[in-house]
Amino acid sequence: MNKFSVAKKNIDTILVLDFGSQYTQLIARRVRESNVYSEILPWDINDEKIKEISPVGIILSGGPNSVTNSFTPRIPQSIFDLNIPILGICYGMQTLAEQLGGQVISSDEKEFGHSELEIINSSLLFEGMQKKINVWMSHGDQVKDLPTEFNLIASTRSAPIAAMEHKTKPIYAIQFHPEVTHTTDGKVILDNFIKNICGSNADWNMNDLISERINEIKNKVGNNKVLLGLSGGVDSSVTAALLHKAIGKKLTCVFVDNGLLRKGEAEAVMQTFKDNMSLNVIKSDSEDVFLRHLKNIEDPEQKRKIIGRTFIDIFDAEALKLKDIKFLAQGTIYPDVIESSGSESNEARVIKSHHNVGGLPEEMKLDLVEPLRDLFKDEVRNMGSKLGIPIEMLNRHPFPGPGLGVRIIGEVTKEKTKILRDADHIFIEELIKFGLYDSVSQAFAVFLPIKSVGVVGDERRYAEVIGLRAVETVDFMTAKWAHLPYKFLEHVSNRIVNEIEEVSRVVYDISSKPPATIEWE
């Protein structure tokens, strides 16, 4: 039985057949955005499974192979036998063309990046679009000769056959990627296929996704107990809420307060999840252990390693106290899968280091539950809000695993964490008050390892220096320093120096990434 069949009964399904493209999940995500259910299956899936899913249409993904080589993936004959609409994308187009009698060549002119597509013949696929659009290409091979039953519908300069359609059947193929945002009207093309050509009802939504995931968790976990490391970040929080809905008290969350959290963080996590949402959360107050291990340590990498290792030890100790745990839940989301292993099809499951499960004791032998593994961050946030997690919690800036440990330059002490926590709180509180919080991607304070002279009243004050950092970024790989208003910075600086007597000076970081990283350590 299909794992989701209980929930998705009577819901139209678009099957995405995966040929190994880095964009396969993005295709599925676009289908979801159109309120249609989609399932991704590997290209060599058996016929039984396809019949069981009974899709209303099939999208063939791109892939890294060349159809000019033998033994590369091909579309199973059973797909054609279904007589339902097919859309081939990139490699999907090439194998479609080759299997139906066309010719594919390895072109000398490889095309990566933007290209102008000219629509030559009208097609349902391009309905409602301009004649010329910008498309995103990423291919070496291309179709040289159309299969006999096909018409050409669009070209680019380097790929004269950039889109084709079958003369009598609803089979379409495009060389470019409509699923990436660089293709203008990519959504229109996919919508034309999903809704107009396949006739899918747009009646699927986030609540259906939640029901599916709940069924999936129930089926997998049965009557067993599950453990989750709750960090208070979006991903682990949404995983916790989802599991709680699925299996209630069979879920135990461990929240480690390492003393390196933002002000009020531990209380907020406990209140949201334990008090308001009635989750089973064990809090481990471990500030002393972390600070003890960090004593006299100045090197950033060493600090990171110590924090990671200490976290593992504490999490392990808490986990071992619990009896009969069979599963470990993780808030892995799709970008983590890509970053860790480079590809979804890679079976090796690399675990996010700050979730710290790499070191779980051998005797626990836990199976993983990762219900968000194919979702993108904004989908996870959306799911979280439907599950009742407060919006403020879901929209918070990211916070690094090692926490304030990498925002205190040099040795970490309890006194410094207190000063930094207070300064950071003032900064964030004012960003929210001024309506600037959502306009920056991440903002925080840094404790600098120097003292400076100041004057307060008539008194000389030789005291600490706090750095403020705020950046704008989409992917956190590059970032621009945020041009926060001077008036705002002045106000924050005044508050910090006036309210925290250990601080005599505040500076603002005007470095972008690269070369500077977002965090200081």
Smallest separation (angstroms) from ligand XMP to the CB of 386? 25
Q: Spell out the residues 6+ positions from residue 299 whose beta carbon is closer than 8 angstroms to its own.
A: none
> Do you know the residue count of the chain?
521
Smallest separation (angstroms) from ligand XMP to the CB of 230? 14
Q: Is 379 a catalytic residue?
A: no
Candidate list 57, 147, 384, 401; residue touching ligand XMP; CB under 6 A: 401
- How many C-beta atoms lie closer than 10 Å to residue 184's C-beta? 18
| 217, two tokens | 């968790």
Catalytic residue selected from 179, 318, 370, 379:
179
Candidate list 287, 313, 316, 519; residue touching ligand XMP; CB under 6 A: 519
Q: Spell out the residues 6+ positions from residue 482 whose beta carbon is closer than 8 angstroms to its own.
A: 439, 440, 443, 470, 471, 472
Q: Which stretch binds ligand XMP (CB under 6 A): 68-76, 80-88, 186-194, 398-406?
A: 398-406
What are the CA-CA distances from residue 353 to residues 305, 340, 357, 376 (Å)? 10, 10, 8, 19
Catalytic residue selected from 90, 165, 198, 253:
90
472 in contact with ligand XMP (CB under 6 A): no
Four-CA torsion 340, 344, 349, 354, nearest 10 degrees: 40
Q: Residue 354 or 451: which CB sits closer to ligand XMP?
A: 354
Return the residues of window 129-168 that contact ligand XMP according to CB under 6 A.
none
Separation of alpha carbons 446 and 466, rounded Å: 6
Smallest separation (angstroms) from ligand XMP to the CB of 261? 13
The amino acid that residue 149 corresponds to is: E
Q: Which stretch binds ligand XMP (CB under 6 A): 60-68, 78-86, 397-405, 428-436?
A: 397-405
Site string for ligand XMP, 350-379 (x = CB under 6 A): ----x-------------------------
Q: Which stretch binds ligand XMP (CB under 6 A): 66-74, 76-84, 394-402, 482-490?
A: 394-402
Coil, strand or helix: which one is 123? coil
Coil, strand or helix: which one is 294? helix
Q: Is 177 a catalytic residue?
A: yes
Separation of alpha carbons 26 and 32, rounded Å: 10
Q: Which stretch binds ligand XMP (CB under 6 A): 278-286, 341-349, 486-494, 511-519?
A: 511-519
Candidate list 92, 371, 384, 402; residue touching ligand XMP; CB under 6 A: 402
Q: Which stretch binds ligand XMP (CB under 6 A): 45-53, 248-256, 314-322, 399-407?
A: 399-407
Size of the site for ligand XMP (CB under 6 A): 11
Q: Residue 5 or 478: which CB sits closer to ligand XMP?
A: 478
Q: Residue 80 or 476: which CB sits closer to ligand XMP?
A: 476
Bridge partners of 278? none
Site string for ligand XMP, 258-287 (x = CB under 6 A): ------------------------------
Return the residues of window 280-339 that contact ligand XMP according to CB under 6 A.
none
Q: Which stretch binds ligand XMP (CB under 6 A): 30-38, 168-176, 388-396, 400-408?
A: 400-408
Smallest separation (angstroms) from ligand XMP to the CB of 191? 33
Q: Residue 83 or 517: which CB sits closer to ligand XMP?
A: 517
Separation of alpha carbons 290 and 311, rounded Å: 8
Q: Is 182 a catalytic residue?
A: no
Nearest to 147 by CA among 93, 108, 189: 93
420 in contact with ligand XMP (CB under 6 A): no
Separation of alpha carbons 213 and 125, rounded Å: 32
Q: Residue 354 or 418: which CB sits closer to ligand XMP?
A: 354
Residue 222: is it exposed, middle or buried by C-beta count within 10 angstroms (0-12/13-18/19+)? exposed
User: For every residue of 391-403, which 3-state class applies, written as one string?
Assistant: HHHHCCCCCCCCH
Helices (H), 84-232: 91-99, 186-191, 206-221
Smallest separation (angstroms) from ligand XMP to the CB of 354? 4
CA-derived radius of gyration, the chain: 27
Candidate list 398, 414, 432, 439; residue touching ligand XMP; CB under 6 A: 398
381: enclosing H helix or E strand: helix 377-386
Residue 48: is it exposed, middle or buried by C-beta count within 10 angstroms (0-12/13-18/19+)? exposed
Smallest separation (angstroms) from ligand XMP to the CB of 479? 7
Smallest separation (angstroms) from ligand XMP to the CB of 83? 48
Place of tokens 């991903």: 235
For the chain, how far is it from start to end, CA to CA, in angstroms?
50
The amino acid that residue 268 corresponds to is: A
Site string for ligand XMP, 427-466 (x = CB under 6 A): ---------------x------------------------
Asked if 440 and 472 touch (Cβ cutoff 8 Å), the reply is: yes
Candidate list 80, 376, 476, 488; residue touching ligand XMP; CB under 6 A: 476
Strands (E), 306-456: 325-329, 367-369, 442-456
Separation of alpha carbons 127 and 192, rounded Å: 7
400 in contact with ligand XMP (CB under 6 A): yes
Catalytic residue selected from 139, 177, 244, 355:
177
Q: Which stretch binds ligand XMP (CB under 6 A): 29-37, 408-416, 461-469, 513-521?
A: 513-521
Q: Residue 149 or 519: which CB sits closer to ligand XMP?
A: 519
Nearest to 226 by CA among 212, 210, 244: 244
Residues that bind ligand XMP (CB under 6 A): 354, 398, 400-402, 442, 476, 513, 517-519
- Active site positions, annotated: 90, 177, 179
